[in-house]
Chain A
Amino acid sequence: MTPMMKVKKYGLIFLKYFTVVLAAFIALLPIASCVITAFKTPEEYAGTNVMQLPSSWFNFTNFIEAWQKANMGLAFRNSLIVLVFVLAGSILFSSMLAYILNRFKFPGNGLIKNLFLFASLLPGIAMQVSVYQIMYNMGLINHLYGYIIVMMGTDIIAVTIFIQFFENLPVSLDESAIMDGCTYFGVFFKILFPLLKPAIVTVLILKGVSTYNEYYMANLYLQDKSKLVVVATSLYTFTGPMGNQYNYICAGVLITLIPALIIFLCCQKQIYGGLAAGAVKG
């Protein structure tokens, strides 16, 4: 190798690492600054530069304050209820729909697929103007179950993931079960559903993260913030008069990040794989 080529080669390697490290730094910086601030006492926060490290890493008073001020105990409880029902509902209904769309040819099969595809083009927030009216007329506003139902709504991503998964499950599986006298319900619940496990994990993670982080509809349909607060809406307590007490805000933000962080560390592979699988073909 000539020296010139060597320079070029190592230059490229350097450039590669430099850009990656820089990007990682930028990705981390906002959250790191939040961590630093969350451990500062109010005096420290007021008196020092934001990037100066706190005097103690064991000062959890901000977290306790934030937890209480934003009513996060209740928020986590409500979010958990919402998550359990929304996830159970959307996994069951999406996999059932995917089953019949994939296994049966019937008039309207293609139409239903297209209806779902088109629905995915409609931006969610824009629709809420009239969904609100419907929710209002059905008396679903200010009830956790109302929010759960609307969140279960249409889940094109889950349906697509399940359809793709069904495509890879051999039809001979269904056929032999039918031969043995199994009903279609039996085929689905006893034979196919247990095999869907990897797809279910994917949907759990993707839908779980988006439900946990969903703010707009939670804010709109759970208006009684003293009782029906969820994690995403609880954070909004920190606007207004508390808008510049960042030692509390950062602590609150970090508390809400913890579940996402745990899920991420446990299921990185599934998340990456799930995203790729859930990417609905445009």
Chain B
Amino acid sequence: MSAEKLMKWAKSRKGQRCFVILTFMAVPLTLLMLFTYIPFLEMFKFSFYNMKYTGTRTFVGQKNYMEVFSREDCFRSLLLAFYYIAASFVQLGLALYFASIFCFKLRGKEVFKGLLFFPYLVCGIAIGFVFKFFFTRGFVLDTVLGWIGIPLESLPYWLKDTRINNISLVFTSIWRYLGQNMVLFLGAMMSVDQTLYEAAAIDGANAWNKFRYIMLPSINSVIVLNMIMCISGSLSAFEPPYVITNGSFGTGTYFVIMNRIAHENQRVGLASAMAIVLMVLIFIVTIFQKVVMAKLFPSDESEESIRRRRLKREKQLRKGGTFA
């Protein structure tokens, strides 16, 4: 192609279109490749080596993966994820409960909503400190329990007693994320057509009927989303145990252990294998949840169609039309 032709092409719509696509894509895709996909492939490779950040590497095959499952600390931390998963179901239940309360009339609604939500905006490290203080023997929690008549002697050491310390830490994560889940649910609930509730009320539906037959079906995609977020969050809990206990007394979550192996012991190969195992787990959980939810709610209405319908209705309203 001659230079003249090339110039002509560049000036044409098609040329411009090509040009704008390439330039607008360049930076985001470079960053995506550089910090997500290349590291991902590298990590996959690392997981078969015995290596440090610098120095020589030796190929060890699947030995790192075997070690992930045979090392006591790794395996225990995987089991620990069940605490966090169980907690995430409690958290979702509570979030759903409070969201449906906030959906209807309530005095001081905005204030309560704000109070429940604010912890989500607090930095993880700060949360760590706050709860270390909160759970220390004789400090905040013990004092408050004292007010309602529970003597200090009958209380466990919240962070040291291995029977209860993981529950304490899990409580921290519920405290942090409950508000976020709640706001997501609330957003979906508010997008439900309010006239449906009125119609249902005329037909004699009570609060539970309204919740079960109007609200729940219209927010199930948000429920799925929240569940996925909660479970991958459970598997990747890091900051609270890192600051509060630094993984001692059997509270080392997967990431706390991985962080130790990767950056303190510098066993990059093993840490990479741990990361890959975690990703596979998250992937399986995500697919599993999608399949289950698709089975449970076959006529799943996507958020998009809800939004489109809302837009259409607004347009109609603007035209001066009434609800169809």
Contacts and interface: CB of A to CB of B under 8 A. Distances in A.
Contact of B140 (A33, A276, A280): A33
B121 A260 contact: yes
B48 interface: no
B3 interface: no
A121 B35 contact: no
B214 interface: no
Given A100-B25, A136-B53, A281-B221, A129 B118 contact: no
Given A20-B101, A51-B143, A100-B25, A213 B186 contact: no
B283 A280 contact: no
Given A250-B133, A263-B121, A94 B143 contact: no
Interface in A223-282: 231-233, 235-236, 238-239, 246, 249-250, 252-253, 256-257, 260-261, 263-264, 268, 271-273, 275-276, 279-282
- Among A106, A122, A168, A232, the one with the most B-chain Cβ atoms within 10 Å of its Cβ is A122
A130 interface: yes
B79 interface: no
B130 A129 contact: no
B144 to A, nearest CB: 7
Interface string A117-138: 0010111111111111110100
B65 interface: no
B53 A133 contact: yes
A279 B238 contact: no
- Among B35, B184, B290, the one with the most A-chain Cβ atoms within 10 Å of its Cβ is B35
Contacts of B39: 127, 130-131, 133-134
Contacts of B72: none
A207 to B, nearest CB: 13
Contacts, number: 264
B82 interface: no
Contacts of A34: 130, 133
Contact of A125 (B133, B229, B236, B290): B236
Contacts of B92: none
Interface stretch (B13-21, B161-169, B194-202): B13-21
A184 B32 contact: no
B177 to A, nearest CB: 12
B84 to A, nearest CB: 13
B175 interface: yes
A188 B16 CA distance: 13
A26 B134 CA distance: 11
A53 interface: no
- Among A19, A220, A276, the one with the most B-chain Cβ atoms within 10 Å of its Cβ is A276
B123 A231 contact: yes
A28 interface: yes
A20 B38 CA distance: 47
B123 A232 contact: yes
User: Size range of the interface on A?
Assistant: 35 or more
Contact of A33 (B25, B43, B134): B134
A24 B94 CA distance: 13
Contacts of A100: 20-21, 24-25
B188 interface: yes
A215 B282 contact: no
Contacts of A279: 184, 187, 222, 225
B36 A153 contact: yes
A231 B123 CA distance: 9
B187 A272 contact: yes
B24 A168 contact: no
Contact of A127 (B36, B101, B123, B134): B36
Nearest to B286: A121
Contact of A37 (B16, B133, B179, B279): B133
Contacts of A281: 221, 225, 302-303
Contacts of B236: 123-126
Interface in B1-56: 13, 16-17, 19-21, 24-25, 27-29, 31-32, 34-40, 42-43, 46, 53
Given A125-B259, A209-B121, A246-B133, A273 B187 contact: yes
Contacts of B29: 97, 112
B81 interface: no
Contact of B116 (A24, A104, A122, A215): A24
Contacts of A29: 134, 140, 144
Contacts of B291: none
A78 to B, nearest CB: 15
Given A122-B40, A260-B122, A272 B98 contact: no
A185 B20 contact: yes
Contact of B232 (A49, A123, A134): A123
Given A134-B34, A253-B129, A280-B225, A184 B119 contact: no
Contacts of A97: 24-25, 28-29
B20 A129 contact: no
Closest 10 CB pairs of A and B: A276-B187, A126-B275, A213-B123, A184-B20, A130-B39, A96-B24, A130-B43, A130-B42, A33-B140, A153-B35
8 contacts: A33-B134, A130-B43, A133-B39, A134-B42, A154-B32, A183-B16, A252-B129, A276-B188
Interface of A: 16-17, 19-21, 23-24, 26-31, 33-34, 37, 49-51, 93-94, 96-97, 99-100, 104, 106, 112, 115-116, 119, 121-134, 136, 149-150, 152-154, 159, 168, 178, 183-185, 188, 209, 212-213, 215-216, 220, 231-233, 235-236, 238-239, 246, 249-250, 252-253, 256-257, 260-261, 263-264, 268, 271-273, 275-276, 279-282
